[in-house]
Amino acid sequence: MNSELFALREEAKRGRDPACADETLDCLLSLAVQIGAKEILEIGAAEGLTSIALLLAGAERVTAIEKDPARAARARENFVHFGVTAKTTLLEGDAGEILPCLGGTFDLIFLDGPKAQYLNYFPDCKRLLKEGGYLLSDDVLLFGWVRGEPPKKRRMLVEHIREYLDVLQSDPDFSTEIKEFGEGLAVSKKV
Ligand SMILES: C[S@@+](CC[C@H](N)C(=O)[O-])C[C@H]1O[C@@H](n2cnc3c(N)ncnc32)[C@H](O)[C@@H]1O
pLDDT in tens, 153-174: 889 999 999 999 999 999 999 9
Q: Is 178 in the pocket of ligand 1 (CB under 6 A)?
A: no
Q: Where are the domains of the chain?
A: 3-136
Tens digits of per-residue pLDDT, 7-20? Answer: 999 999 988 888 99
For ligand 1, the distance from its centroid to the CA atom of residue 99, given in whole angstroms, is 14
- Which DSSP string corresponds to 125-167? HHHHEEEEEEEEEE-SSGGGTTTS---GGGHHHHHHHHHHHHH
The pLDDT of residue 71 is 96
The pLDDT of residue 148 is 85
pTM: 0.97
For ligand 1, the distance from its centroid to the CA atom of residue 76, given in whole angstroms, is 15
Residue type, 44: G
CATH topology (fold) of 3-136: Rossmann fold (3.40.50)
Average pLDDT of the chain is 95
Please name the residue whose Cα sits nearest to atom 26 of ligand 1.
Answer: 46
Looking at the predicted structure, is the pLDDT value of residue 188 above 80?
Answer: yes
Q: Is 94 in the pocket of ligand 1 (CB under 6 A)?
A: yes
Q: Is 5 in the pocket of ligand 1 (CB under 6 A)?
A: no
Residue 52's nearest CA partner among 90, 14, 21, 15 is 90
For ligand 1, the distance from its centroid to the CA atom of residue 20, given in whole angstroms, is 10
Could you give phi then psi for residue 56, rounded to 5 degrees?
-70, -20
d(CA 123, CA 99): 10
Tens digits of per-residue pLDDT, 40-78? Answer: 999 999 999 999 999 999 999 999 999 999 999 999 999
Q: For the residues 136-142, what does the mean pLDDT come to?
A: 95
Q: Is 133 in the pocket of ligand 1 (CB under 6 A)?
A: no
Please name the residue whose Cα sits nearest to atom 19 of ligand 1.
Answer: 94
Please name the residue whose Cα sits nearest to atom 7 of ligand 1.
Answer: 19
Q: For the residues 112-116, what does the mean pLDDT come to?
A: 96
d(CA 10, CA 182): 14
Confidence of residue 145 (pLDDT cuts 50, 70, 90): confident
Would the CA dihedral through 52, 53, 58, 63 be positive or negative?
A: negative
pLDDT cut 70: percent of the chain above it = 100
Q: Is 99 in the pocket of ligand 1 (CB under 6 A)?
A: no
Please name the residue whose Cα sits nearest to atom 1 of ligand 1.
Answer: 17
Higher pLDDT, 1 or 169: 169
